[in-house]
Structure formats: structure tokens, C-alpha cells
Amino acid sequence: MDWLKSNAATVIGWLLVAGTVAVSTGAQLQVVQDTAILVDVHDNRLHKLESDVRVLDEVIRRQDSVLTRQEQTTRELDRLVIELKTVVKGRHD
């Protein structure tokens, strides 16, 4: 007990250091946990965005295909109109 009385300041100092380390470590752990939560949220958002981009790419590919067919059909209709005009003009001459 005499040792404790004679070294009380040192013991109190070490207890304060240990307490400070514990509080600091707890705060750091909280920051790590908060960061992990944010990473998970952002990771989920990123996966959703990637999925949306894949869907949009597929929609654009389909629209390009439809547009190509429409352009081909329009050219064919233009040829038929020219042929019809030729036939009609030939009958009137």
C-alpha cells in the first residue's frame, strides 16, 4: 500500500494515458464503422448504376436495330414510289 501511495501520481498518469488510448481507439473504431457503412451504401449505388447502364445499353441497341430497319423500309418505299410514278407516267403518255 505504501508503494501505491508513493507512486499515486504515476499510477494516475498511466490510468489517464490508458483512458485516452481507449477513448481514441473507440473513436477510431467508430470512424472505421461509419466509413464501412458509407462504402457499402456507395457500393450498392454503384452496382445499381452499373445495372441501369447495362439496361440502357440494351435499350439503345434495340432502338438502333429498329431505326436501321425503319431506314431500310423507308428506302424500299422510296424505290416503290419511284416505280409507281414511272408506271403511272407511262400510262398517261
DSSP string, 11-57: HHHHHHHHHHHHHHHHHHHHHHHHHHHHHHHHHHHHHHHHHHHHHHH
Whole-model pTM? Answer: 0.53
> Average pLDDT over the chain, rounded to whole?
88
pLDDT at position 49: 96
On the question of pLDDT at 77 being above 90, the answer is yes
Query: What's the Cα-to-Cα distance from 48 to each of 42, 43, 54, 87, rounded to whole Å?
Result: 10, 9, 10, 58
On the question of pLDDT at 86 being above 80, the answer is yes
On the question of pLDDT at 10 being above 90, the answer is no
pLDDT at position 7: 79
